[in-house]
Structure 1
Amino acid sequence: MIYRILPLILFCVFSFKPLNVIESTKNKINATDPKLIAANIKATFEAKAKLCFNVIDANGFSLPTFDSFIAAFEGYELLKQQGKIQNEILTIVDFSLSSTQERMWVIDMKNQKVLLKSLVAHGRNSGLEYAKDFSNTNESFKSSLGFYITGETYTGKHGLSLRLDGMEYGINDNARNRAVVVHGADYVSKSFIKNTGRLGRSQGCPAVPYELHKELIETIKGKSCIFIYHPSRTYVAKSKLVS
């Protein structure tokens, strides 16, 4: 009888691996799974973004939404790694908000503090109270989403102004040719909102109040980062700086 059972016992012994071996094998497979790796990277990045967001000194202002911040933070970190940012200021413009709200935040990323918060205009063909349509095309008079690096200052018809370089091909890289710049405008004011029920609109520039424009430009000039946000699926699909 033993001769009949022995082969079965031996088969069982050599067929089943110890649990620790099985777990080790699973871990090795998981460690090389591209989806798992991507998920781990995303989770790590989100934790880093939340940590950064939670320690920002609002300085008496409200903070931007976390959705707009995490998108801005992702592109900011990539552009910084590429050596394109020299002035560690991140400006977030949230075009998902009404133009009657202060929807521009200027954040000192080095010292983790909000420096300024302001009204900001969108392009006249992007929408009335809300910005809904965006373009990278000349004479469209629409705003362009995405990441910009601030360039040099100059004095134009709006006074002190700041040139912008769009960092995203096909999304905002035509900013220089379109003369999309930061400048002051009298139609960006609380009195204009009171009289019309909305903010005035630009030809595509992120125009700001005259009383603030010089301080703002002096703060963000010299290769800082501006991110114009909107929860647009079209933008996310095209962008290489947000995921």
Structure 2
Amino acid sequence: MPAITPERLPVRHVSGVAQPLFERAMAARDTHGALVTQRDRIAIVDFDAPSYRSRLHMIDVMNGASQRLLVTHGIGSDRGHTGYLQQFSNDDGSEATCEGAFATSDYYVGQHGRSQRLLGLDPTNSNALSRAIVIHAAWYANKDMLLTHGKLGRSQGCFAVGDAELQRVFDHLGEGALIYAGKA
């Protein structure tokens, strides 16, 4: 990683990301520095937005460049399948999305193919590893779901992206990056 010099200070705002959410993500990056080794990039999931909006923001914090992608939330976070996250949960068996700071960990091949483990760094997501909350691709996260259903399907709490987008996410984050999920 390039050294942070006065010319390379992290950005203070990213277009399209709610400022309070961005500030909490950057504070979490600093707080959890021992596990967040990729300091020049983060991802923020803005769960104020519905699932039919691109609410996963992959951000280069050194220049403010960002990419936005569709991402699911958990069944337990939206029991009525409205497309809006209604509640977070860290409870085993909840099938809900949990909030807070995550560090990306290792890759593996599992039930959903190529996936990446996430380490929950806050009390609100401390069970992420034992609940197998991961990043993976899923058919119900593909863009064509919007044409037929007007919203994405739901995961069991994981951050599922479209099949064609998974490699972009892996390439942006790598291991040791921060994902921050929440509402402004």
1:161·1:217 contact (CA, 8 Å) conserved in 2?
no
Q: State the structure with more CA Rg.
A: 1
Structure 1 residues 25-50: Cα deviation after superposition (integer angstroms, max 9, x where no partner): xxxxxxxxxxxxxxxxxxxxxxxxxx
Equivalent in the alignment of 1:118: 69
- In structure 1, runs of 5+ residues without a counterpart are 1-50, 57-61, 232-243
Aligned to 2:108: 154
2:143 touches 2:162 (CA, 8 Å); kept in 1? no
Secondary structure of the 2:148 match is helix
- The correspondence of residues 22-101 of structure 1 with structure 2, limited to 5 A, is 52-54=11-13, 63-80=16-33, 83-88=34-39, 89-101=41-53
Give runs of ≥4 in structure 1 deviating > 4 Å. none
- TM-score, scaled relative to structure 2: 0.87
1:175 maps to 2:175? no
Letter paired with 1:134:
F
Where does residue 92 of structure 2 map in the other structure? 138
TM normalised by structure 1 equals 0.66
The RMSD of aligned alpha carbons is 1.6
Q: What number of residue pairs does the alignment pair up?
A: 171
Partner deviation per Cα, 1:72-130 (whole Å, 9 max, x = no partner): 122112222xx221112210000011110000111122x32334310000001211210
Q: C-alpha separation between the residues in 1 aligned to 2:30 and 2:16? A: 19
Among all aligned residue pairs of Structure 1 and Structure 2, give the percentage whose two residues are the same amino acid. Answer: 30
User: Any conservation in 2 of the 1:153–1:221 contact (CA below 8 Å)?
Assistant: no
Equivalent residue, structure 1, for 2:4? none
Query: Greater strand share, 1 or 2?
Result: 2
The answer to which structure, 1 or 2, has the higher relative contact order (CA under 8 A, 6+ apart) is 2
Q: Hey, what's the Cα distance between the residues in 1 that align with 2:22 and 2:89?
A: 22
| Secondary structure in 2 matching 1:207 | strand
1:151-186 deviation per Cα after TM superposition (whole angstroms, max 9, x unaligned):
0001112221000000012x1010011000000011
Structure 2's unaligned 5+ residue stretches are 1-9
